[in-house]
């Protein structure tokens, strides 16, 4: 059975920078309040948010990843697209991306695992490649969250940014690559972070839209303190699971790429796990929480800066709505 290797990476964020000072002009907040609680200084939002979807953000990231892998869209035989802000209720955004790329030979499906979406998608892609079913998988995490936020709710709106990250995964006979992926969920806590309306349970239909909009049920709802506590616990568990499964210890990690949810969560996890400052990749200050896109964006930046070398042990971990969490261990080759 072949191993699975990441052969190309790509990322994209909109040009439009939204600073904390920008947000302070439209809501009751300020730069100090946001930085102290989240570590975020700015984020990228699509400027004209009407009729632009997650697939439009994913396309340039995907093309970059394909170019670095030395592949064309025709080489792709599967697209796995992780997002919780799809272009449409149906079809899947993976199919929209397939059209944009011209990936005529690819199967396509979406994964909905919120901030854990990249880990879930990577787990799917890895197994398709290792099974021999697919030879060139494009795995994308992309979110356009700026139009899903309540502009009056500073507890959520300051956190999120728009962006996309992509990887190409192929089989290899080399030792290493994606060593393991691990995914978990606890649906009993789904109401800690969710959007109440817009799905089949409470659709935005004629006669109901006024109630939904008056109550703000189309926007993200979050119980921040509960999420923080559970997030730290599950993050730590996910890291240890990836290490233990492969016979590693904390000190063996060369690069830790956490989901960029909140700088304070990352700091607390690092202290709990006794991670060295030089082990963690943190870029939330520039992009905010881009949910399913945060890990691949951070991965791309780390590679661009030469922070990941051949032979390094890279551990990724994420936690998000669902509730979902997971991790991956990669020996970079």
Task: State whether 250 and 115 are in the same domain.
Answer: no
From 151, 175, 199, give the residue that closes a domain.
Answer: 175
| Helical ranges in 152-293 per DSSP H | 154-157, 209-215, 224-245, 263-273, 284-287
From 154, 175, 196, give the residue that closes a domain.
Answer: 175
**Active-site hit among 115, 124, 136, 300:** 115
Mean pLDDT (whole number) for 46-71: 92
**Active-site hit among 3, 20, 134, 289:** 289
Task: State whether 219 and 167 are in the same domain.
Answer: no
| Known catalytic membership, residue 95 | no
Task: State whether 163 and 274 are in the same domain.
Answer: no
Distance between CA 141 and CA 84 in Å, rounded? 10
Task: State whether 194 and 166 are in the same domain.
Answer: no
Task: State whether 63 and 95 are in the same domain.
Answer: yes
Task: State whether 324 and 293 are in the same domain.
Answer: yes
**Active-site hit among 124, 136, 182, 259:** 259
Helix H or strand E segment including 17: strand 17-19
- Helix axis angle, 93-101 to 54-69, nearest 10°: 50
Residue 313 CB partners (closer than 8 Å, separation 6+): 248, 252, 253, 254, 255, 329, 330, 331, 332
Task: State whether 15 and 152 are in the same domain.
Answer: yes
Mean pLDDT (whole number) for 38-57: 90
CB 292 within 8 A of CB 113: yes
Q: Is the pLDDT of residue 207 over 80?
A: no
Cis peptide before 323 (omega within 30 of 0): yes
DSSP 65-96: HHHHHT--GGG--EEEEE-SS-SSSSS-HHHH
Tens digit of pLDDT for each residue in 223-269? 888 888 898 999 999 999 999 999 999 999 999 999 999 999 999 99
Helix H or strand E segment including 37: helix 31-38
Residue 137 burial by Cβ neighbours in a 10 Å radius (0-12, 13-18, 19+)? buried
Reference 93, options 47, 163, 142; nearest CA is 142
Task: State whether 222 and 76 are in the same domain.
Answer: no
Backbone φ and ψ of 92, nearest 5°: -65, 145
Query: Between 66 and 198, where is the model more confident?
Result: 66
pLDDT at 209: 78
Task: State whether 150 and 234 are in the same domain.
Answer: no
| Known catalytic membership, residue 300 | no
CB 139 within 8 A of CB 66: no
pLDDT at 322: 87
Residue 313: both structure tokens together: 């042990």
Task: State whether 157 and 213 are in the same domain.
Answer: no
Task: State whether 207 and 65 are in the same domain.
Answer: no
Tell me 206's DSSP state.
T
- CATH code of residue 111: 3.40.47.10
Q: How many domains does the chain have?
A: 2
Q: Is the pLDDT of residue 62 over 80?
A: yes
From 130, 157, 175, give the residue that closes a domain.
Answer: 175
| Known catalytic membership, residue 214 | no
Which residues partner with 324 through β-bridges? 185, 320
- Per cent of the chain over pLDDT 90 is 76
Q: CA-CA distances (angstroms) from residue 238 to 140, 179, 269, 319, 326?
A: 21, 14, 11, 9, 6
Helices and strands (H, E) in the chain, number of each type: 11, 13
- Helix axis angle, 263-273 to 224-245, nearest 10°: 40
Task: State whether 44 and 7 are in the same domain.
Answer: yes
Q: Is the pLDDT of residue 96 over 90?
A: yes
pLDDT at 294: 97
Residue 301: both structure tokens together: 């930046």
pTM (2 d.p.): 0.95
Q: Is the pLDDT of residue 192 over 80?
A: yes
- Domain residue limits at 211: 179-331
């Amino acid at each position: 059975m072949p191993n699975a290797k990441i052969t190309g990476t790509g990322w994209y964020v909109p040009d439009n920078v939204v600073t904390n000072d920008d947000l302070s002009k439209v809501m009751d907040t300020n730069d100090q309040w946001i930085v102290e609680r989240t570590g975020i200084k700015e984020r990228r939002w699509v400027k004209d948010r009407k009729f632009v979807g997650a697939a439009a953000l994913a396309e340039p990231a995907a093309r970059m990843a394909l170019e670095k892998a030395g592949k064309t869209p025709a080489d792709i035989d599967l697209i796995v697209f992780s997002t919780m802000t799809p272009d449409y209720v149906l079809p899947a955004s993976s199919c929209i991306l397939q059209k944009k790329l011209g990936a005529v030979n690819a199967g396509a499906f979406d994964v909905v695992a919120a901030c854990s979406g990249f880990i879930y998608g990577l787990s799917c892609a890895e197994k398709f490649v290792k099974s021999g079913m697919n030879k060139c998988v494009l795995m994308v995490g992309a979110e356009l969250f700026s139009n899903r936020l309540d502009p009056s709710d500073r507890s959520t709106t300051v956190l999120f940014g728009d962006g996309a990250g992509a990887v190409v995964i192929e089989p290899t006979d080399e030792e290493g690559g994606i060593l393991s992926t691990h995914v978990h969920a606890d649906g009993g806590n789904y109401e800690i972070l969710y959007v109440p309306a817009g799905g089949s349970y409470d659709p935005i239909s004629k006669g109901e839209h006024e109630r939904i909009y008056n109550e703000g049920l189309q926007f993200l709802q979050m119980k921040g303190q509960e999420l923080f506590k559970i997030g730290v616990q599950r993050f730590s568990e996910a890291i240890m699971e990836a290490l233990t499964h492969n016979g590693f210890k904390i000190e063996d990690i060369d690069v830790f790429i956490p989901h960029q949810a909140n700088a304070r969560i990352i700091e607390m996890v690092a202290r709990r796990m006794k991670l060295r400052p030089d082990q963690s990749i943190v870029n939330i200050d520039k992009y905010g929480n881009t949910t399913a896109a945060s890990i691949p964006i951070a991965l791309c930046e780390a590679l661009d800066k030469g922070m990941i070398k051949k032979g390094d042990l890279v551990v990724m971990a994420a936690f998000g709505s669902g509730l979902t969490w997971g991790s991956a261990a990669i020996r970079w080759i």
